[in-house]
């Protein structure tokens, strides 16, 4: 019938939009709108793959090369983002500046931000349940009916239409909507806390990568110093050989140590590229960007731990965003339990509709029965009470499911609490150990420098052998690397302890004033 009515109005199944129809009769308005298709009924274009089975890999061991089609254009992704470079080439970046750069460039911050916005939008969607819904409806048809009558059949045909506005409003649902909104509020809080923790995570990763990168740069400098000492030692041994005061094996040992120093230098330079790639990945930029960074030796070191591990752990349990997020998830599960229990109660709703119904050009045969047209205003109002009395124990099982999820959230919260305490104790012990090792590393470097200077002077005067000289040179190189590692490891340990405490906001970048004797870089 609908297709015949469409044909009567002149509609053709082509690529034309179906317009709204308004019919007037006798000056009366008929609120009739046929289903409005605002976009053209376009025929689909060519499929990307004319043979989808042929486009799949032909063999499990064969590499898929793809199928070039006119409908698909494969474009390469550039290593540089299309926007302007976020790196300021005139700025010397310290750690806070690098963290700012990472928070603006790292896509993980945008991911967590969009997830928080999604939770906010979902909460607003849930709030819509408190408002009524108003729906416009239009219906049209062409009909033809036939009824048997004595001596023949009574046939009527014509068309009719109906346009109306329908109202639906839930008045009481005994806590269902409140529970849904409470759960949405808690999930929004969880998303916001997760967003904060993501900031802290990125700052922590950048700090670790920055310390590692600076340590590698310092090792390059140390390797260059070791190579210079090896070159000088080789030259000194060769000079003694020319004077008959050294043997050829002595020269070969010196050359061997010189080659080893060269190898260590190249190895350190190669590590710089790896460390830079790790740092730029945490920053969210390409490794091809050039960064000017402050020197590791200019970074202040924590002097001492001024708080006990118990106090630090208590602070972490009060402010860790991921723990707050887990607590919000538990509150959301509790709201879901309330909603499941509310399903046992009825719902009271208000409904209604108001519209106009039109019958036009209704003809009957035989002709003696006449023809007619009519236009009537129709309306209804309903107060509905809906109460499910039995549903096969679905609601009871829904409560059990919600309770189980709530208990699981409690267990997850407790597991995270224990994990936080464990991380605090481990980071505290590690930092305390690194503070002590730092002192020994400095003492070791000082002793190695003095030993090498004394051995070199003794060798020049003929009181020490080349083996003793080379041994002192190795010890000095090892002491330099140990000092660099102790500095970087101490900074990383302190950053781990600060990250474990979960300091909020920008203070996380310079956190540690309460935990340590001064603020960390």
pLDDT digits (tens, 9 = 90+) for 245-258: 888 898 999 999 99
446 near 519, Cβ under 8 Å? no
Least confident segment among 216-230, 354-368, 429-443: 354-368
Mean confidence (pLDDT) of the chain: 82
State how beta strands 292-293 and 92-93 pair: parallel
Task: Report whether pLDDT(364) > 80.
Answer: no
Per 3-state DSSP, the chain is made up of helix, strand and coil in percentages (nearest 5) of 55, 15, 25
CB atoms within 10 A of CB 396: 13
323 pLDDT above the threshold of 90: yes
From residue 176, how far is each of 170, 263, 407 by CA, in Å? 11, 71, 21
Q: Please tell me what DSSP assigns to residue 12.
A: -
Residue 342: count of CB within 10 angstroms of its CB: 18
Q: Cα–Cα distance between 399 and 337 in angstroms, integer? A: 6
* CA proximity to 28, closest of 353, 354, 357, 352: 357
Rounded to whole angstroms, the Cα distance separating 368 from 155 reads: 12
Cα separation, 2 vs 21, in Å, equals 14
User: Binning pLDDT at 50, 70 and 90, where does residue 41 land?
Assistant: very low
Mode of pairing for the β-strands spanning 133-149 and 28-30: unpaired
Instruction: Give the span between the Cα atoms of 91 and 72, in whole angstroms.
Output: 43
Give dist(CA 373, CA 353) in Å, integer. Answer: 23
Contact partners, residue 273, CB within 8 Å, separation at least 6: 287
Query: Average pLDDT, stretch 202-214?
Result: 94
CA dist 485 to 292, 427, 445, Å?
22, 17, 12
Residue 401 in this model has a pLDDT that exceeds 90: yes
Q: What is the pLDDT of residue 160?
A: 86
The residue ranges of DSSP E strands in 366-484, in sequence order, are 371-386
Q: Each residue of 139-173: pLDDT tens digit?
A: 888 888 887 777 677 777 788 888 999 999 999 99
pLDDT at 516 exceeding the cut of 80? no
Q: Which of 239-253, 338-352, 367-381 has the lowest mean pLDDT?
A: 367-381
Distance between CA 194 and CA 173 in Å, rounded? Answer: 32
For residue 175, count CB atoms less than 10 angstroms from its CB and return exposed for 0-12, middle for 13-18, buried for 19 or more: middle
- Higher-scoring residue by pLDDT: 1, 495: 495
pLDDT at 55: 58
Res 5: pLDDT: 34
pTM of the model: 0.77
Count of CA atoms in the C-beta half-sphere (13 A) of 160: 15
Decide if 290 contacts 89 (C-beta within 8 A). yes
In whole angstroms, what is the distance from residue 201 CA to residue 499 CA? 8
Q: Would you place residue 110 in the very low, low, confident or very high pLDDT band (cuts 50, 70, 90)?
A: very high
Give the residue with greater pLDDT, 406 vs 363.
406
For 2-26, the pLDDT digits (tens) are 333 333 333 333 333 333 333 333 3
Q: What is residue 77's predicted lDDT score, i.e. its pLDDT?
A: 54
- Give the angle 34-40-41 at the CA atoms, nearest 5°: 90
């Amino acid at each position: 019938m609908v297709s015949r009515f469409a044909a009567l109005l002149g509609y053709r199944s082509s690529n034309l939009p179906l317009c709204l129809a308004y019919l007037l009769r006798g000056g009366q308005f008929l609120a009739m709108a046929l289903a409005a298709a605002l976009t053209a009924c376009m025929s689909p274009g060519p499929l990307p793959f004319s043979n989808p089975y042929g486009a799949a890999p032909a063999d499990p061991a064969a590499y898929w090369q793809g199928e070039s089609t006119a409908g698909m254009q494969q474009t390469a992704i550039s290593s540089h983002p299309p926007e302007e470079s976020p790196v300021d080439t005139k700025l010397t970046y310290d750690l806070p500046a690098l963290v700012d750069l990472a928070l603006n460039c790292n896509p993980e911050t945008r991911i967590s931000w969009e997830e928080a916005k999604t939770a906010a939008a979902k909460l607003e969607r849930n709030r819509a349940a408190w408002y009524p819904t108003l729906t416009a409806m239009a219906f049209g048809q062409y009909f033809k009916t036939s009824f048997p009558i004595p001596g023949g059949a009574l046939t009527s045909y014509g068309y009719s239409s109906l346009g109306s506005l329908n109202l639906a409003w839930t008045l009481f649902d005994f806590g269902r909507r409140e529970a849904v909104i409470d759960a949405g509020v808690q999930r929004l809080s969880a998303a916001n806390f997760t967003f904060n923790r993501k900031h802290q995570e990125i700052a922590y990763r950048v700090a670790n990568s920055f310390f590692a990168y600076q340590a590698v740069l310092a090792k390059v400098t140390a390797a260059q110093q070791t190579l210079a000492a090896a070159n000088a030692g080789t030259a000194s041994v060769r000079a003694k050989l020319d004077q008959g005061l050294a043997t050829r094996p002595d020269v070969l040992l010196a050359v061997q140590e010189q080659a080893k120093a060269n190898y260590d230098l190249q190895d350190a330079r190669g590590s710089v590229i790896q460390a830079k790639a790790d740092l730029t990945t945490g920053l969210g930029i390409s490794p091809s960007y050039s960064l000017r960074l402050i020197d590791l030796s200019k970074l202040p070191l924590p002097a001492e731990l001024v708080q006990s591990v118990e106090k630090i752990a208590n602070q972490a349990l009060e402010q860790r965003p991921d723990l707050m997020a887990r607590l919000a998830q538990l509150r959301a599960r509790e709201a879901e339990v309330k909603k499941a229990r509310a399903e046992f109660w009825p719902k009271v709703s208000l409904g209604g509709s108001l519209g106009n119904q039109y019958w036009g050009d209704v003809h009957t045969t035989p002709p003696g029965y006449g023809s007619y047209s009519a236009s009537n205003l129709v309306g209804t109002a309903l107060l509905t009470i809906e109460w499910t009395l039995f549903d096969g124990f679905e609601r009871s099982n829904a409560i059990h499911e919600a309770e189980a999820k709530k208990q699981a959230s409690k267990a997850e919260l407790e597991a995270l609490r224990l994990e936080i305490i464990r991380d605090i104790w481990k980071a505290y012990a590690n930092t305390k150990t690194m503070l002590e090792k730092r002192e020994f590393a400095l003492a070791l470097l000082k002793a190695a420098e003095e030993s090498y200077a004394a051995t070199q002077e003794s060798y020049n005067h003929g009181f020490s052998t080349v083996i003793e000289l080379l041994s002192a040179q190795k010890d000095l190189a090892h002491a330099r690397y140990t000092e660099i590692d102790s500095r970087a490891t101490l900074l990383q340990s302190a950053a781990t302890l600060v990250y474990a405490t979960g300091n909020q906001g920008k203070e996380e970048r310079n956190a540690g004033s309460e935990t340590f004797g001064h603020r960390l870089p």
